[in-house]
Amino acid sequence: MSERMNERLEELECEIRSEIRQGFVDLQTENSDLIQNVGAIPFLDYKHFALKIFFPEGGPLANMMIKDISQVAVKIEVDEKCQVFSALIRDQTFLTCFVHALEEQKNFSIKDKCVVASLLTVALHGDLPYLTQLMEDLLQNLMDQPSNAQPKLLLRRTESIVEKLLTNWMSICLYGFLRESVGQPLFLLVSALTQQISKGPVDAVTEKALYTLNEDWLLWQAQDFNFSPLKLNVLFAVGTEGEVSESLEVNALTCDTIEQVKEKILQTFQRKFGFPYTQQQREIDIEYEKGGRYTPLEEVDGSSEVQGEVTMLNTLKHYQVPDGASIKVMTKKLHAPLSPQTSVKDDQNFSTKYFHLIDPDIDKDESNHPERKKLKLKEIYLTKLLSTKVAVHSFVENLFRSIWGMPNNKAPSAVKYFFDFLDAQAEKKKVTDPDVVHIWKTNSLPLRFWINILKNPNFVFSDLEKTPHLDACLSVIAQAFMDSFSLTDQQLGKHAPTNKLLYAKDIPQYKQEVKMYYKLVKDQLSVSSQEFKTFLQDESKKHESEFNESAALRELYKYMDRYFSEITEKLNQRDASSKLKEEMNRVKELFDDMKKSSWT
């Protein structure tokens, strides 16, 4: 017994030595051969970008906000009613009372606040100078509230209408800068991350990968990392007579499942030609050509390995596909009767019925053959996080510096204007601690706008799938970005989270660059009120026909109707003119008449 144990211990020691050495080799030989250039970047147009920022949850409400050119007569009549309400919300006394009255209600949730802020943004998009004036007024009120006795906490969260309004305002004003200066570095980073993840094994069931930035998504449980890279010559079926296109070279791994191979084929096609293949992944089949005969490659078929009640997904290794093999892509054949399930991933029990690289836990198998389960230590594979960081590091730095860089030594006018506004408020309130103003600026711009963009590139680009794994990697980068704006020095030990340790050596340099950025913005020549007003008017005019302001007004009216007495009371407290209250009653009468006419 002791002899067998000694043999097993020696075997384990040998395996661990080998894996640690391989990790060291990978780290020292990692070369960043990732994509350096792309074709046309698939930017979303302005209105769809704006809607994703305003209404991130999407749904029917967001869809209503896009203007429909073919409006029927009934809609035009409703829009005429909205004109009176539109004039009313352009009275700042009314609108500030409206906002404060709503926010004082206990049943007015944070979600309601965000919705109202975005409805106001759409309704007033045609008059951005007024929206800016409203935002400044509400921000000053927020700063004056007794609950904000801790000025460093200001704007940290989105707990008021004006905080969401600020997010929307930044998005409107910085869209041009985002497209011109930050869009390409962001797209290249996302592309590089996706490629780096797919360079190594990715478990098709859990989506964990050997190459990742996030420890939670690290593939360390796989029993066998014995994989090899393959170059496949991919041919696309064209026409109906069996003709094929010229071959496309695609990089794959022996451990890739058939669906992963399809995904890599389509990604390579888009990278090479700059546009997607005519069919989607679930619409194609692939075949392996050997000796003039084609073998269909399926994710699961009669030859699939089964352990207990769990089926292993087929891989290129399973089909013994060699390096340089020819693979043919064709339209999926539809079998009768038609099944809505076109992929095994559509199975509700996919994660329990199938496995890929991580063996299923089969108690019977483990108890009878404990030696089959190799000892796996996650810590051995932590070097893979560093390998991934090294591979994408230049892309991360390019992105960060495109954000806090100063093209032509000039920050975007909205950044300069708003930072000057915060400096003026600090002076007005006799805030002498420079850290407070630094935190205000950080909570307004990087935290409120850039983090949203870094974590949601699908808000900026079309046809970009943000998988949970990509999301986790972007969160690590976003954390490093925010740490660069922090004024506190972090004390990191061996028990610190790996996402903090990964960028620990880079953060001090980034912090210096951020401080210099804030200083350069402050020293920059101020933007005159008239100059900035012209910029805002131009932005309004540029997008004047893109949003359905009437739809936003109709939705806003629902809140006015719900809290009518509370808004009236707030107007009375402010000694609002009787004319203003009459206008409010007139709006209510017009909308009530509209309801009655729709019932008859």
Identify whether residues 480 and 515 lie together within a single domain.
yes
Has residue 59 been placed in a domain?
A: yes
Q: What is the pLDDT of residue 282?
A: 85
Has residue 34 been placed in a domain?
A: no
The total of structural domains in the chain comes to 3
Has residue 454 been placed in a domain?
A: yes
Identify whether residues 252 and 234 lie together within a single domain.
yes
Low-confidence ranges of the chain (pLDDT < 70): 1, 5-6, 8-9, 11-39, 67-80, 146-149, 223-225, 239-243, 334-342, 361-377, 596-600
Identify whether residues 230 and 215 lie together within a single domain.
no
Identify whether residues 197 and 232 lie together within a single domain.
no
Over residues 472-491, the pLDDT tens digits come to 999 999 999 999 999 988 77
Structure tokens at 341: 């399930």
Helical axes 549-562 vs 73-89, angle rounded to 10°: 60
Identify whether residues 245 and 329 lie together within a single domain.
yes
Domain that holds residue 599: 55-153+544-600
Judged by DSSP in three states, 319 sits in coil
Identify whether residues 356 and 247 lie together within a single domain.
yes
Q: What is the pLDDT of residue 9?
A: 66
Q: What is the pLDDT of residue 343?
A: 72
Q: What is the pLDDT of residue 362?
A: 44
Identify whether residues 410 and 494 lie together within a single domain.
yes
Identify whether residues 448 and 561 lie together within a single domain.
no
Identify whether residues 197 and 172 lie together within a single domain.
yes
Structure tokens at 523: 């020293």
Strand 229-238 to 326-331 pairing: parallel
Which residues, at least 6 apart from 418, have a Cβ–Cβ distance to it below 8 Å? Answer: 170, 444, 445
Are the CB atoms for 210 and 388 separated by under 8 Å?
no
Over residues 407-443, the pLDDT tens digits come to 777 899 999 999 999 999 999 988 888 899 999 999 9
Has residue 186 been placed in a domain?
A: yes
Helix/strand/coil (H/E/C) assignment for every residue in 87-154: HHHCCHHHHHHHHHHHHCCCCCCHHHHHHHHHHHHHHCHHHHHHHHHHHHHHHHHHHHCHHHCCHHHC
Q: What is the pLDDT of residue 18?
A: 62
Q: What is the pLDDT of residue 33?
A: 60
Q: What is the pLDDT of residue 552?
A: 94
